[in-house]
Structure 1
Amino acid sequence: MDRLTSERRSWLMSRIGSKNTKPELVVRRLVFSMGYRYRLHGKNLPGTPDLVFPGRRKAVFVNGCFWHGHAGCRYGRLPKSRIAFWEAKIDRNRQRDSSNIAELQAAGWRVLTVWECELNEIEILMRRLNEFLQSE
């Protein structure tokens, strides 16, 4: 049972932005500290990737586990109310994500998705980002 009214919950959820989120800022600082330079929110690319490395033709998406339905993650669980609504919404997000990644790959881009829960292990994430950005 939600402690907030549906109007208040709706208002709170509408305040959640899609750019400059806390997980995205953490990844941006990490990548910058590793010496890589990037462009933000590539508007000309499918899905508007969070970090774009044009010279390397690489893109990084920083996904929230809840909003993008991270399978097997404790943050990716569905709420207990309005289950049908949330299942449909998160399924649409997953389909859109996979479609955008497929379009980018078809255009010759390499894509990496960083999940919010991966920020708990910064050393592992740093290695993963470095391997992705160094690979051909």
Structure 2
Amino acid sequence: MPGKPDIVLPKFKTVIFVHGCFWHAHGGCKYYRAPKSNTDYWMQKIEKNITRDNEHQKLLKKMNWNIIVVWECELRSDATGRCSDLIEQIVKKVNQ
């Protein structure tokens, strides 16, 4: 599968990616900070991650897969609430 999703639900044609806030530059997140050392190297690496994520999501959409992205900070701050939200998202996508 493009992007190697963390969770694949074939019955529901849904994939779930769990993104680390630093590695995927989660904007506005308290866990994402631009690196202070070797900045050029790390920013290029993070930008490549974002570009690759977008390309993989486009491919998955063309293959008619539903895509859900879960951010690290969501799991840290309210894991129970986020899991409930995920179930609701999956149900909505399946019923579309």
Q: Structure 1 segments of 4 or more deviating over 4 A?
A: none
Deviations 1:69-111, CA, capped at 9 Å, x for gaps: 1111121112211111111110000000011011101100000
Matches within 5 A, 1:1-136: 45-119=1-75, 120-135=77-92, 136=95
Q: d(CA) in 2 for partners of 1:87 and 1:79?
A: 8
Q: Specify the code of the residue in structure 1 equivalent to 2:11.
A: G
Q: d(CA) in 2 for partners of 1:99 and 1:76?
A: 22
Unaligned runs of 5+ in 2: none
Q: d(CA) in 1 for partners of 2:35 and 2:6?
A: 26
Q: d(CA) in 2 for partners of 1:74 and 1:129?
A: 22
Q: d(CA) in 1 for partners of 2:48 and 2:62?
A: 21
Q: d(CA) in 2 for partners of 1:90 and 1:74?
A: 17
Q: d(CA) in 1 for partners of 2:14 and 2:89?
A: 9
Q: d(CA) in 2 for partners of 1:90 and 1:128?
A: 27
Aligned residue pairs total 92
RCO greater where, 1 or 2, for CA within 8 Å and sep 6 or more? 2
Q: d(CA) in 2 for partners of 1:94 and 1:79?
A: 16
Per the alignment, residue 13 of structure 1 pairs with: none
TM-score by length of 1: 0.65
Root mean square deviation, CA, Å: 0.9
**Aligned-residue identity in percent:** 40
> Which is higher, the Rg of structure 1 or of structure 2?
1
**Helix, strand or coil for the counterpart of 1:121?**
helix
TM-score by length of 2: 0.90
